[in-house]
Chain A
Amino acid sequence: MATTALHPAAPAYRSTLYDWVTTTDHKKIGIMYVINSFLFFFIGGLLALGVRVELAQPGLQFVTDQTYNEIFTMHATFMIFLFVIPMLAGFGNYIVPLQIGAPDMAFPRINALSLWMLPLAGILLLLSFVTGGAAAAGWTSYSPLAQDRVGQAVNAGAGTGQDLWIVALVLIGTSSILGAVNFLVTIFKMRAPGMTLFRMPIMTWTVLVTSVLVLMATPVITSALIMLFIDRNYGGAFFDPANGGDAILYQNIFWFYSHPAVYVMILPAMGMISEILPVFSRKPLFGYKAFVFATAGIGALGFSVWAHHMFTTGAVYLPFFSLMTFLIAIPTGVKMFNWIFTLWRGQLTLSTPLLFALGFLSMFLIGGINGAFSASVPVDFAIHDTYWVVSHIHYVLFGGSVFGIMGGLYYWFPKMTGRMLGEGLGKIQFVLMFIGFNLTFFPMHELGLSGMPRRIADYAATAGWNDLNLAATVGGFVIAASMLPLLWNIFVSLRSGKPAGDDPWEGNTLEWATSSPPPPYNFDRLPEIRSERPVFDVRHGQAQGGAVQLPAGH
């Protein structure tokens, strides 16, 4: 079934490192995606601590205004473009071919290319710190702030940092587009016999919808970035009003990508918990088809809501974007109730993956509700560009995506490595992260309502924001501390972890029908696929199995 001529088994003189660097195996590439994403997660996390330390007390204690702007710009850039998006692409890379019974991705070499563009982009971004200052116009890089000059005045956006930022984002976008094409071809062309579209695991469905979003949206932001680059370096005037350009045009193009990008960052995490909840409650996912349609619905609606980031510009038709934004709550609500009724009357085992999935449910709920405030245009006039929005985005992307990613990590780590992660350390991590997260981001609701704008390095001591900011900073360090049990857990597990076996969780989907870690090309034999839970069917005698006990691979 392999579509591309692949290397035979590596000759003995090649080192393990060489093997990993040159691999086209989707599992190794997936693991490298995950490792790369974690590295940038930690860098982005350190930058976040920089923000929190500076804001802990009124007064500018540690950094200059310009440095502060660089820090939060790069925090968001690393977290969005080099952590959440690639992390989910990495899990997709590892899991999707296994879940559909394929031997690899459709285009293994393009897959490797997509991966290796990411560290390159990351290095460019890191270099910008030592080549005259990183980008400092926010991760949105609105024009004219991100222009080289405003009129004839030298701007804060001057310097190589902003150019490096543009180049890095174009690289990452290209990587995403290639990855999306790869996923789509893999999912449409390489499913095992019997794996119809409506028997695909939800994780695979979310990667499918995500890939469509990436394919339609990413070229658009790439065009915006190239136009901004031309503005800055070759005297273009696309987005520079001083030269006849349009500042709002940039925002329209930017958000046409960047709002769907929010769904790129949340849908696969939804897919992850949709795998975890059924397994740990011993029930099928409630309303599988409704869930698929809701996912597709979110994807489709996601393209008609971009201007809700621009309500205060005075340049968009407000009622339309308000309505579409409210409508997104409907498929999202369908998902929420389907998840809850998957648990309903089940037999729940509170293992670490389920804890993180429950964390996702309860925190993403808050992120959904406080999002409805922004959909109400007049309320958005009050809370836009304040700390309320910072709170909202983190309840979605941290409370949602990061909790989902952590759940997925604990869930699939045994498959990836053949070793279990420790439950005790996992629970400690969950508790610390849950407390730290809420301590950091819940007070930001009140900060925003009382008028604290985002992206300010300092505030007046008399503004009444001191205690809440201090609480958020303490919470930030609790989150940082929650990473220590995770790292220790991974370290201990890789050295001497409990062997996982093929199917430690009594899983439902095909990745649990092969060995842990799976052999090259994944499967020697596949079970019959009669439903969206082929391995469950084999376990409970409703399908021919035989493949659960696979030989080690070679």
Chain B
Amino acid sequence: MATSPRAGRSSVALTALILGAVLLISVAIVAVLSGGDLLGVPQRFVDSLYPPVAVTAQGEKIRELYTIVFLIGVVVFFIVEGLIVWTVLRYRRRPGDDALPPQTHGNAIAEIVWTVVPTIVVAFLFVVSWQTLNEIETVSAEPDLKVRAVAGQFQWTFEYLPADWTPDDPDAPAPLYTEFVPTRSGDSGGFVLPAGRSVQLYLHSPDVIHAFYVPQFLFKRDVVPGRTNVFEFDINEADAGQTFRGQCAELCGAGHRIMLFDVHALSGAEFDAWLEGKVANAPPPAPSGEPEPSDGVTPGPAPLVLSAINVLYEQTELNAPADVPFIIEFDNKEAVPHNVAINDASGASIFVGEIVTGPIKTTYDIPALAAGSYPFMCSVHPTTMVGTLTVN
């Protein structure tokens, strides 16, 4: 040991103690102030490192927690990064520095300090995180509204459910109304929700894993095939009339980026009126096992039968007579939106059927076609649900 090891040792312990005290005091200040008015200060200063303003009661709690974690992170960052920079600037090797610096091998007090202080800090972070977690994970027995979100490749469907609906019950009552958000139309399609009421969202996937994510909720939850996830949220009453962007957050295939939806928050009364109107206009569910009755006698050829299950057509070859209109009886056997669209050989659209979410049967009236071969597909699943219509 070249120079006095004792001096080096005590200075390290002292420095570590001072550092630990500064860190603990800073964290304590953050902890005390995090519930107070100072919350708004970092929001204005470092807006870019802040999540968006939350629009749900749960999101606001998460944002408060973020504030605590963020401020502690900032304190730790400046203390440690400052220490690195200062050490590098201060302890450069200078000409004439031939003798070795003090060969300090370690210091038990310092090691204890920088074990105990971070332990206190992370224990605090864990406890506040757990508290917030318990608050936002609460699911009430009788929410104001139950909705089932069905995420399939690559679109969202929102089913507004009666109050006595329960998941995984084969005899559960049918949805009151189903809102289908077509792929790519994040701006037009919408998930209408009441502000100021508790909403329970049940998540269902018929294919791969997706994730329901609304940045302004500060929340996401995976939509996992084979399991039903549920969570509850309350949009702030003050945010009625606003629209929030939502998007799938778990890679789900080539259309992942276009799985968009908008959340429209309405006031309670507006929402009731909206849902009432939708329920009144919704077509009654088809009696199971029977085709839709057609009015009067249908002249012309026999209807073509086409059905869809598991995001596939069960018939990929259809034959129709040339030059007469005909009918396709479409049986969508699953809770995934499908339709039938027909193109001509050049790819131009000839017919696009209404998109229906099953289980439902519907009929499409197809105009007369010249003899030839026509590709048909589901507008929602144009890459996987395809077939050929032969007209002759």
Contact = CB atoms under 8 A, between A and B. Distances in A.
Contacts of B114: 333-334, 337
Interface stretch (A408-416, A418-426, A432-440, A443-451): A443-451
A323 B247 CA distance: 30
A100 B80 CA distance: 33
Which 9 A/B pairs are nearest by Cβ-Cβ distance?
A: A451-B215, A241-B226, A151-B310, A347-B93, A456-B257, A314-B229, A287-B106, A382-B218, A376-B129
B234 interface: no
A152 interface: yes
Interface string B255-269: 111000000000000
Contacts of B197: none
Contact of B220 (A289, A312, A322, A338): A312
A330 B251 contact: no
Contacts of B385: 153
Interface string A322-359: 11001101100110111011011111111000000010
A150 interface: yes
Contacts of B213: 385, 451, 453
B222 A382 contact: no
Interface string B49-84: 111100000010110011001101100110011011
A187 to B, nearest CB: 23
B219 A381 contact: yes
A136 B126 CA distance: 36
A372 B106 CA distance: 27
Nearest to B8: A345
Contacts of A454: 251
Contact of A153 (B91, B132, B311): B311
Contact of A314 (B87, B126, B136, B227): B227
A241 B49 contact: no
A241 B87 CA distance: 56
Interface string A358-390: 100110011001101101111101111110000
A155 B69 contact: no
A31 interface: no
Nearest to B50: A449
B48 interface: yes
Given A281-B91, A345-B91, A362 B84 contact: yes
A445 B119 CA distance: 26
28 contacts: A69-B251, A69-B253, A150-B153, A153-B311, A288-B106, A314-B231, A329-B118, A334-B111, A336-B80, A337-B114, A341-B16, A343-B91, A344-B12, A345-B91, A345-B101, A348-B88, A348-B93, A372-B69, A373-B73, A375-B129, A376-B125, A378-B61, A381-B62, A382-B51, A382-B62, A451-B215, A454-B251, A459-B257
A283 B101 contact: yes
A309 to B, nearest CB: 11
B356 interface: no
A152 B310 contact: yes
A43 interface: no
A322 B126 contact: yes
A395 to B, nearest CB: 12
A64 B256 CA distance: 12
Nearest to B64: A378
Nearest to B251: A455
A242 B52 contact: no
A341 B106 CA distance: 9
A385 to B, nearest CB: 4
Contacts of A375: 125-126, 129
A150 B15 CA distance: 60
Contacts of B65: 376, 378-379
B299 to A, nearest CB: 36
B185 interface: no
A331 B31 CA distance: 23
B133 A330 contact: no
Interface in B6-61: 8, 11-12, 15-16, 48-52, 59, 61
A290 interface: yes
A313 B210 CA distance: 10
Contacts of A487: none
B110 interface: yes
A379 B315 CA distance: 47
Contacts of B256: 65, 69, 455-456
Given A152-B312, A333-B114, A449-B51, A318 B247 contact: no
A450 B244 CA distance: 12
A310 to B, nearest CB: 8
A384 B224 contact: no
A289 B107 CA distance: 11
Contact of A341 (B12, B186, B231): B12
B382 to A, nearest CB: 13
A172 interface: no
Interface in B224-275: 224-227, 229, 231, 245, 247-257
Interface string A281-324: 11110111110000000000000000000001111001100110
A145 interface: yes
B240 to A, nearest CB: 21
A66 interface: yes
A457 interface: yes
Interface stretch (B201-209, B279-287, B290-298): B201-209
B103 interface: yes
Among B221, B253, B255, find the residue whose CB has the most chain A CB atoms closer than 10 A.
B253
Nearest to B65: A378
A12 B122 CA distance: 63
Contacts of A386: 249
A145 B251 contact: yes
Contacts of B52: 449-451
A338 B107 CA distance: 10
Contacts of A344: 12, 15, 87, 91, 104
Interface in B176-226: 186, 206-209, 211, 213, 215-216, 218-222, 224-226
Interface string A145-159: 100001111111000
Interface in A61-112: 64-66, 69
A202 to B, nearest CB: 13
Nearest to B334: A151
A142 interface: yes
A350 B92 contact: yes
Interface in B98-138: 100-107, 110-111, 114-115, 118-119, 122-123, 125-126, 129-130, 132-133, 136
B309 interface: yes
B384 A153 contact: yes
Contacts of A319: 130, 133
A458 B69 CA distance: 31
Given A64-B254, A145-B251, 20 more contacts: A137-B251, A138-B251, A152-B312, A153-B311, A248-B227, A286-B106, A287-B111, A290-B111, A318-B133, A322-B130, A333-B118, A345-B11, A345-B91, A348-B92, A361-B84, A365-B80, A369-B76, A449-B50, A449-B51, A456-B257
Nearest to B111: A290
B249 to A, nearest CB: 4
A289 B208 contact: no
A381 to B, nearest CB: 5
A247 B206 CA distance: 12
Among A344, A378, A455, find the residue whose CB has the most chain B CB atoms closer than 10 A.
A378
A189 interface: no
Contacts of B50: 449
A345 B5 CA distance: 12
A454 B285 CA distance: 39
A153 B206 CA distance: 11
B379 to A, nearest CB: 16
A329 B312 contact: no
